[in-house]
Amino acid sequence: MNWHAIKTIYAAEMARTWRTLFQSVVSPIISTSLYFVVFGSAIGSRINEVQGVSYGAFIVPGLIMLSLMTQGISNASFAIYFPKFIGTIYELLSAPISFVEIVISYVGAAATKSAALGLIILGTATLFVDIQIAHPFWMIAFLVLTTVTFSLLGFIIGIWADNFEKLTIIPLLIVTPLTFLGGTFYSLDMLPALWQKITLINPVVYLVSGFRWSFYDTADVSVGLSLGMIGLFLAACIAVVAWIFKTGYRLKS
């Protein structure tokens, strides 16, 4: 394993965060705070508790999960797309570094940034509501698994995209709507029976439910199923990345 190469690429990607501090850190925090003020105050004044938890506290895990997903995708997709855009990807591919080391570098940096942002948002949320973490280990586990998985997805999108517009299509048109419809702002128990069954098709439901369970010991689906779903998604992303480097899809043309 070429740790020197991994460290170099990782450090370069982390340094980019400071050059785009407002876009990378400040903007997501402001957006999440606005969600929190609007939904927590406006709707929270009409809904006292959900599953025994105050509504303002109830939505915190969902808002963190929304940030982890969108930022993980955004950071990783841009990180690998930009070298393609300016043509330096060929220097990377010809360097004495394997595809595993490339993925670890870029995905590791993207996951680190989105996880740090998630923790910052968690700290910001404590200024608004009282938050308890019933299972700290599992909270960290879900956070890490989610950031790594969606950073891998972002890496795939960055390779697939051939223009800047395509970098935002999947996050805006698929991931964000699925997150809003995945129990971020409500419990599945609040939906009619038919819609509860339909909502279970949404894979984000399992991620949000498991993450919320780590906070408040309450979940819409079983924790084992949540872990199984994110593990399946992670395995699928790893398989796609391996196929991309094996075939050279959109890397060698």
Model confidence pLDDT, tens digit, residues 138-182: 999 999 999 999 999 999 999 999 888 888 888 888 888 898 888
Distances (CA, A) of 173 to 10, 100, 117, 165, 180: 29, 30, 22, 12, 11
- The span from the CA of 8 to the CA of 13, in Å, is 9
Neighbours of 230 (CB within 10 A): 22
Higher local confidence (pLDDT), 243 or 96:
243
Predicted confidence band at 90 (pLDDT cuts at 50, 70, 90)? confident
What pLDDT score was predicted for residue 168? 86
**Region of residue 248 (left: phi > 0; alpha: psi -120 to 50; beta: else):** left
Neighbours of 2 (CB within 10 A): 16
Predicted confidence band at 40 (pLDDT cuts at 50, 70, 90)? low
What pLDDT score was predicted for residue 185? 83
- The span from the CA of 84 to the CA of 139, in Å, is 35
- The span from the CA of 218 to the CA of 211, in Å, is 10
Q: Is the pLDDT score of 44 beyond 70?
A: no
Distances (CA, A) of 59 to 25, 93, 241: 20, 43, 33
Model confidence pLDDT, tens digit, residues 109-144: 999 999 998 998 898 888 878 888 999 999 999 999
Q: Is the pLDDT score of 193 beyond 80?
A: yes
Q: Is the pTM of this model over 0.85?
A: yes
Predicted confidence band at 41 (pLDDT cuts at 50, 70, 90)? low
What pLDDT score was predicted for residue 155? 95
Contact between residue 111 and residue 144 where contact means Cβ atoms under 8 Å apart: yes
Secondary structure of the chain as H, E, C letters: CCHHHHHHHHHHHHHHHHHCHHHHHHHHHHHHHHHHHHHHHHHCCCCCEECCEEHHHHCHHHHHHHHHHHHHHHHHHHHHHHHHHHCCHHHHHHCCCCHHHHHHHHHHHHHHHHHHHHHHHHHHHCCCCCCCCCCHHHHHHHHHHHHHHHHHHHHHHHHHCCCHHHHHHHHHHHHHHHHHCCCCCCCHHHCCHHHHHHHCCCCHHHHHHHHHHHHHCCCCCCHHHHHHHHHHHHHHHHHHHHHHHHHCCCCCC
What pLDDT score was predicted for residue 93? 79
Predicted confidence band at 252 (pLDDT cuts at 50, 70, 90)? low
